Structure 1
Amino acid sequence: MPAGGRPTVRSRRLGTALRQYRHAAKLDQPQAAEVIAASQARISRLESGHVTARVIEVRLLLDAYGVKDPEVRVKLEELAKHSKNRGWWLEHAAHLRPDYVDHIALEDDATYIREWQPVLVPGLLQTPAYAEAVIAATPHYIAPERIAQLVKVREGRQAKIEEGGATYTAILWEAVVTQPMVSVEIHREQLSRILEVSERKNVTIQVLPFSAGAVAGSTYAFSSFSFESEPTVEAVAMENLRGTSVLEGPEDLAAYANAFDQLRSAALAPEASVRLMRSALRSGKENAS
């Protein structure tokens, strides 16, 4: 069972896939339960992610559902094997909201990560100083020692990108680049970091210019995740004052995939985005001197 009986991202993804394949096979839960010699309640809890299917159960259910694609079968068997694995971030779990843990787990599993950020530099790109400044500025009091822990977690998240474990695309509104939300010194250091990371083969940074107009206000910040060799959006995370909401419904995923495509089409090309960031960095240096 997932820790505390709460569905994990992985157990929920596995359950969702099993439910979809059962529906496609036109079987009900009692019929699926017969396949694995279990109760209907167990099928219900498997599909909701409240319990994790054993590998043999996954194999039997996929056989009954007529799922023969070897890539699909391997993927779901791997989810069953690793759904209860302890990720690096769980050593900090006592200091993290459960929904933030879900967000990190999505990043850790993803093969493609895409982000739109109209206000702040995304966490996957933040320097420690920038992260500390924006965390401390939240409307809720956070003790200094917890701020340090949260900064450490953000650094841990960045290893996924630094090690080439995912293809990462971020679109930043021009205000993020040209209008510092932190001190000029920290902002300059942050711009230098973004320029450095943008040189990685697995990273694409684009800036949406002010001239793009209303498209910048079409949606709040969000991150989308894909878990296969193709960048099909399979989960979306949105942050708000109360935490992080994860969307997995087909209509929601299609809407955010379309929104990201529109933002990317309106954004400057990567090369032009780099030039704009370098110009902002030079302006910051001149203003500081």
Structure 2
Amino acid sequence: MPAGGRPTVRSRRLGGALRKYREAAKLDQQHAADHIVGSKAKISRIESGQVTARPGDVRLLLELYGVEDPEVYRQLEQLARDSNKRGWWVNYPWALEPEYADYVTLESDATYIRTWQPLYMPGLLQTDGYIQALLEAGVKAPTSEAVERATAGRRERRKAIEQDGARYAAVVWEPVITAPMPSVQVHRDQLLHLLNVAQRRNVTLQVLPLSEWQAAHRASHFVMFSFGAEPAPEAVAFDSTTSTVFVEDLEDMAKHAEIFEELRSAALTPTQTLSFLREQIASLTDSEREAE
């Protein structure tokens, strides 16, 4: 059974993939159960993520379903091995809420992350100063310990897109960049960080101009995750006021992918975005000199 007695995001991904291949092969759960000398109930629990299939069973099922792509075998067998794998976040008890753990698991497993953010700096691009400013803007003033926990956790999460990490593409609306922040220092440090990260080989950053109002209102915000060589999204997440919502419906994911491509088309190119960031940094520096 997945750790904690509940489906994990990895066990759900594995089960969903196996169900997809079984249905494509037009076989029922009893066929699958007979092939691995198990029960129909076991196949049902595997496909729902309630239990994790063993790598050997995964291989047998894929053979039964007529899957020939060796990359599919590799990915799903690895997913079976990793379903109960403990990540860095187990050392942060405050980060073990199920939804947070699921989100960070998706983030750490992904080969391609795409995000649209019209209001906040994307999480994986936030500096420590920006995170602290967000916390201080909350209803309850954070303790120094809470700030340190949050920034330490975010530093761990940022490793997902460090050089040669997951491919990462972010589109942010212009006010995220230009709107005043609590201090010029926080603002400039954040933009300098963006400028640096945006020049990594695996990162693409684009700013959507303020004038592109219609494109900016196609969706509030979201993060898409892909896990293989193909860019097709396999999970979408977005925050509500009190929780994180995960979307795994194929039609919904395809719609989010379509919206993201529309946003990218309407946004400044990556090269134009770098120039835009440099202009904003220079403007902040000039304004700070004038204030002295």
> Do both share a fold (TM > 0.5)?
yes
Distance in 2 separating the partners of 1:262 and 1:113: 17
Deviations along 1:232-256, one digit per CA (max 9) or x if unpaired, are 2111111121221111111011000
Q: Which residue of 2 aligns with 1:251?
A: 251
Distance in 2 separating the partners of 1:87 and 1:181: 33
> Could you tell me which amino acid in structure 2 is paired with residue 111 of structure 1?
T
Alignment of 1:178-193 (within 5 A): 178-193=178-193
Distance in 1 separating the partners of 2:101 and 2:107: 10
Q: Look up the SS of the partner of 1:164 in the other structure.
A: coil
> Could you tell me which amino acid in structure 2 is paired with residue 157 of structure 1?
R
> Could you tell me which amino acid in structure 1 is paired with residue 28 of structure 2?
D
Range with greater deviation from structure 2 (134-143 or 170-179): 134-143
Percent identity at matched positions? 50
Q: Look up the SS of the partner of 1:188 in the other structure.
A: helix
Q: Does 1:54 find its partner at 2:48?
A: no
Deviations along 1:7-37, one digit per CA (max 9) or x if unpaired, are 1111111000011111112222222222222
Aligned residues of 2:33 and 2:42 also touching (Cα < 8 A): yes
Alignment of 1:72-111 (within 5 A): 72-111=72-111
Distance in 1 separating the partners of 2:220 and 2:165: 26
Q: Which residue of 2 aligns with 1:213?
A: 213
- Structure 1 residues 97 and 18, CA gap change in structure 2 (3 angstroms): same
Q: Which residue of 1 aligns with 2:238?
A: 238
Aligned residues of 1:134 and 1:182 also touching (Cα < 8 A): no
Q: Does 1:275 find its partner at 2:272?
A: no
CA shift for structure 1 position 140: 6.0
Q: Look up the SS of the partner of 1:211 in the other structure.
A: coil
May I ask how many residue pairs the two structures share in their alignment?
289
Range with greater deviation from structure 2 (258-267 or 112-121): 112-121
Q: Look up the SS of the partner of 2:212 in the other structure.
A: helix
> Could you tell me which amino acid in structure 1 is paired with residue 236 of structure 2?
V
Unaligned 5+ runs, structure 2:
none
Q: Which residue of 2 aligns with 1:17?
A: 17
Distance in 1 separating the partners of 2:138 and 2:39: 47
- Structure 1 residues 126 and 74, CA gap change in structure 2 (3 angstroms): same
Q: Look up the SS of the partner of 2:220 in the other structure.
A: coil
CA shift for structure 1 position 143: 4.7
> Could you tell me which amino acid in structure 2 is paired with residue 236 of structure 1?
V
> Could you tell me which amino acid in structure 2 is paired with residue 251 of structure 1?
E
Deviations along 1:188-241, one digit per CA (max 9) or x if unpaired, are 110010001111111111100012122111101111111112212111111121
Q: Does 1:138 find its partner at 2:138?
A: yes
Unaligned 5+ runs, structure 1:
none
Distance in 2 separating the partners of 1:253 and 1:139: 33
CA shift for structure 1 position 144: 4.0
Aligned residues of 2:135 and 2:141 also touching (Cα < 8 A): no
Alignment of 1:145-160 (within 5 A): 145-160=145-160
Q: Which residue of 2 aligns with 1:44?
A: 44
TM (norm. structure 2) is 0.94
Distance in 2 separating the partners of 1:187 and 1:193: 10
Distance in 2 separating the partners of 1:91 and 1:254: 35
CA shift for structure 1 position 115: 0.9
Aligned residues of 2:89 and 2:95 also touching (Cα < 8 A): no
